[in-house]
Structure 1
Amino acid sequence: MYDESSPRDPKTQSVEIEFRPVGDIVKDVKQALETSFSRVYVSGEISNFKRHASGHCYFVLKDDDAQLRAVIWRSTANKLQVLPRDGLQVEIRGRVTVYPSRGELQLSVDNLRPAGEGAAQRALQELKQKLQREGLFSRAHKKTLPRFPERIGVITSGSGAALQDILRVVGRRFPVATVYVMSVRVQGVGAPESIAEAIGLFGDVGTTEPHRCDVLIVGRGGGSVEDLWAFNEEIVARAIFDCPIPIVSAVGHESDISISDFVADVRAATPSHAAEIIVPDRYDVAAALIDARRSLDRSINMQIQESRQRIDYLLTSYYFKRTLDQVLQLQTRARDLEKRLSDAARRLIVERGILVTGLYRRLFGQRTEERIELLKASTADLLRRLHRAFGIQSSQNRTKIESLQKQLLLVDPERPLRTGWALVTKDDSVVTTIENIEPGEMVRVRFVDGEAEATIDSKTAALDDSDPET
């Protein structure tokens, strides 16, 4: 009991006061409100709209002077023709009640219809249209993300969960990358300026500087529309557009769309998704390298095999044998020409000798000494000229024959065999390396004067300690 009587007023009688539980008071207030405000008509702007998994919708209805929490129960939400969204100016019919668990005033919506876009949302749409006209959203300005970034810049709150998500994903997928973090304000007064300044600082690093980042992540974790509003500001949009480094926007959750998402080179649904977009999975990279090496090995082996087949074909081809036949023919022809030239020279000498003899006899018979001497000199000169021409022609023919013999020796496939080498084949293919044979296999060995079959007992790779350049 609580005694409210005053000791100084004898006329005051003692009054007993009963203290009631909080729940009773809230119930009375709830009943009074629902009786007095059983049907109200109110207009305002929707903010912080959320639809629960149960189907109930919760939001804040606000204007310039006040705000009121509101709820749309699932049965009512399923009948609405227009789904509420942030920034939508609406006209609502409902009733005012109290949410007992929190003791909060709440508007229970019975019907809702749009009354136009809210002021903030209209301003956002106007800015979006302005930037689009200027080309800030054009795909022509989008930069390509690097395939294997070595340095990643992150612009977000240093104490937020978004940063930890990014670091965890990068560390798991591509730990060789270095992450540079610049902590900024992501909401509230000064947040847009802080974000834009950080983007500019990353972009000002020279392309030859060791800390120049290959790609940037700009974003934050989820929140209300007001919390994410900094990424809708024009100063942030222009900083992203002017940055020479590719930027991935990662603001809020997948359903949150900001102007930064439109301007950035790539939009990610969440900060974790941004990290997954930027860096490859190291296991995928390793698998790709293995596949590339196998493909290269196959290509090289194929080229070697094709070259071997080509050489074997040439060695056994008609044209190769035809070349040897032509050399032999030229050699025979040269000998024939030499013999014919020699015979012609001898015939000429004999004929000239007969002529000289006849002249000599005629002259001798006349006893003309001067004519005899002249004839002798003419004959001697003729003989010298014939011998000189015969010698020159013979030398030229001999040089030509020797050259043809040398060419023949160079292309002779049996030349190495005559010096002690042997040609090893397996299955009609030339064995060029020890890797082509295995112990127990049969091979054929060709010598200069015949062939033999052999069985490989063992093999030993050659040790080459010499300089490969020598």
Structure 2
Amino acid sequence: MAFERPTPISVSDLNRRSKSLLENHFGEVCVEGEIGDLSTPASGHWYFNLKDNRAQIRCAMFRRANLSVKQRPQAGDKIICRGLLSIYEARGDYQLIVDHLEAAGDGALQRAFEELKQRLAKEGLFDDSRKKVIATHNEQIGVITSSTGAAIEDIASVLKRRSPISQINLFPVAVQGAGAAEQIAAAIEQANKLHSSGVLLLDVLIIGRGGGSLEDLWAFNEEVVARAIANSSIPIVSAVGHEIDFTIADLAADLRAATPSAAAELITRDQIEWMQQIDQQARRLALLTTKRLELDAQKLETLKARLKHPQLKLMTIKTGFDGLVNRANHALRTKLAQVGQQAARVESALNQRSPAIKLDITRQRAAALSRQLPGMMASVYRRDAQRLTHLSTTVSNLGPPSTLKRGYAVVKDQAGNVIRSASQVKQGDELSLALYQGQLDTNVKAVRD
């Protein structure tokens, strides 16, 4: 039997058929390996070998595909490539046409990061409604970081400069490597237990570390840390890495700081600002006090002009009393004159009638009236003196000093208005009380009708 000879084909046809078979059979593949012999010509295309310890394959990544790669790879980098297997027909080279490239280590971590981020976001763990308000100035500060890292030194340096009164309470933990995430979560829980029990009352917690690769920072991307942050009753500031670094802890925390130093600045107020504000308030207080004293002095002068001295009142009363005395004396003299005239008339009548008995009786009555006259004058004098004393006492008792001396006080508001009713004030108003000796400033705690 004769052997049937196959029909020969061209090299181009063979490469074309091989290319078609390879592309249709495998479809898109994903390969991990190390870059070798990287070439980046002016055309913008990248050509390199992808190898492991036993084999290698030629790869081509054309310009339109590599524009999406954020960082140009270097020879020796471990990467993950996604693309199509093909053959370059002109030379018959078997190659991988790459349309996506990422670093092997960071790529896997980045995917895990995105997956956890999306899952926790769906739970609402990053919602603004969960965020706790952090005070402008804090004095008891908990710091969860490495005891030997640069982060704690940076925080301490900033606080020493800005707020020496603030106290650092360090919770030392590992910030990378196996078990670091668990240590961080446990430190957050420990700080909260100490806080809730009253052993260590913390105003805020800073968790963080210095910069590093995505793998170095991975402890702050673990779910156990995110949930510990979300469950904390103490406000938490995340300060992981540098400004360009972003972690799950940043999303879960109540506030994100670009660096540990920035975190220390965000939670404290600069002592220079405090001093400037105190000086400003002191100047304002001095100005207000001066104006108030000037206003009170003007009011005092007005009141002094309107207020009559009690001595003037007493002088007026004394003048009136002297007038009463003069009137009494005049009345007495008039009465005496009238009695004398009456006696004279009686005596004249008696003389005219000449009865001896009536004359004696009349003389006796005249003598009796003469004896009664000094008593009547004394009685009138005592009555008028008592009235004068009563009027003087009344004037003295009605005067402002006597009223204040009995325990009363003149109550005024900040504008100097006299308070006569509880309805004129409200809780928290500042009042001044003028006493017999001195003055009191007070605040209204409660108002009762």
Q: TM-score, normalised by structure 1?
A: 0.52
Distance 1:95 1:252, change over 3 A: farther
- 1:307 aligns with one of 293, 305, 308: 293
Q: 1:41 matched to which residue of 2? A: 28
CA distance, structure 1, for counterparts of residue 138 and residue 60 of structure 2: 48
1:341 aligns with 2:324: yes
Residues 132 and 254, structure 2, Cα contact 8 Å, conserved in 1 = yes
Q: 2:437 matched to which residue of 1? A: none
Q: 1:368 matched to which residue of 2? A: 361
| Equivalent runs, 1:24-423 vs 2, <5 Å | 41-43=28-30, 76-78=65-67, 80=68, 92-93=82-83, 109-110=98-99, 121-132=114-125, 137-139=127-129, 141-145=131-135, 147-149=137-139, 151-171=140-160, 173-174=162-163, 177-206=166-195, 212-223=201-212, 225=214, 227-281=216-270, 285-286=271-272, 288-290=274-276, 292-293=278-279, 295-297=281-283, 299-300=285-286, 303-304=289-290, 307-308=293-294, 311=297, 320-321=304-305, 323=307, 330=313, 333-334=316-317, 336-360=319-343, 365=350, 366=358, 367-368=360-361, 375=369, 379-393=373-387, 395=389
SS at match of 2:135: coil
Q: What is the Cα deviation at residue 349 of structure 1?
A: 0.8
CA distance, structure 2, for counterparts of residue 399 and residue 143 of structure 1: 68
Count, aligned residues: 323
In structure 1, what residue type is equivalent to 2:135? L
CA distance, structure 2, for counterparts of residue 331 and residue 299 of structure 1: 44
- Give the RMSD, CA atoms, in angstroms: 5.1
In structure 1, what residue type is equivalent to 2:127? F
Q: What is the Cα deviation at residue 174 of structure 1?
A: 4.6
CA distance, structure 1, for counterparts of residue 344 and residue 144 of structure 2: 126
In structure 1, what residue type is equivalent to 2:189? G
Superposed CA offset, 1:312-366 (max 9, x none): 7865x6x645656x87975664454234312321232123223433554566642
> What is the aligned-residue identity percentage?
32
Superposed CA offset, 1:350-403 (max 9, x none): 232234335545666423377557645654543232121233345567789999
CA distance, structure 2, for counterparts of residue 388 and residue 215 of structure 1: 86
Superposed CA offset, 1:102-128 (max 9, x none): xxxx97733589xxx967744542232
Residues 363 and 372, structure 1, Cα contact 8 Å, conserved in 2 = no
SS at match of 1:216: strand
CA distance, structure 2, for counterparts of residue 256 and residue 385 of structure 1: 110
Q: What is the Cα deviation at residue 296 of structure 1?
A: 1.1
Q: Which runs of no fewer than 5 residues in structure 2 stay unpaired?
A: 1-20, 33-43, 51-56, 72-79, 87-94, 103-109, 351-357, 402-449
Q: 2:446 matched to which residue of 1? A: none
Q: What is the Cα deviation at residue 74 of structure 1?
A: 6.8
Q: What is the Cα deviation at residue 289 of structure 1?
A: 0.8
Residues 363 and 371, structure 1, Cα contact 8 Å, conserved in 2 = no
Residues 30 and 82, structure 2, Cα contact 8 Å, conserved in 1 = yes
Q: Which runs of no fewer than 5 residues in structure 1 stay unpaired?
A: 1-35, 46-54, 62-67, 85-89, 97-105, 408-470
SS at match of 2:118: helix
CA distance, structure 1, for counterparts of residue 175 and residue 239 of structure 2: 12
Q: What is the Cα deviation at residue 93 of structure 1?
A: 2.3
Superposed CA offset, 1:406-437 (max 9, x none): x9xxxxxxxxxxxxxxxxxxxxxxxxxxxxxx
Q: TM-score, normalised by structure 2?
A: 0.54
CA distance, structure 2, for counterparts of residue 37 and residue 226 of structure 1: 37
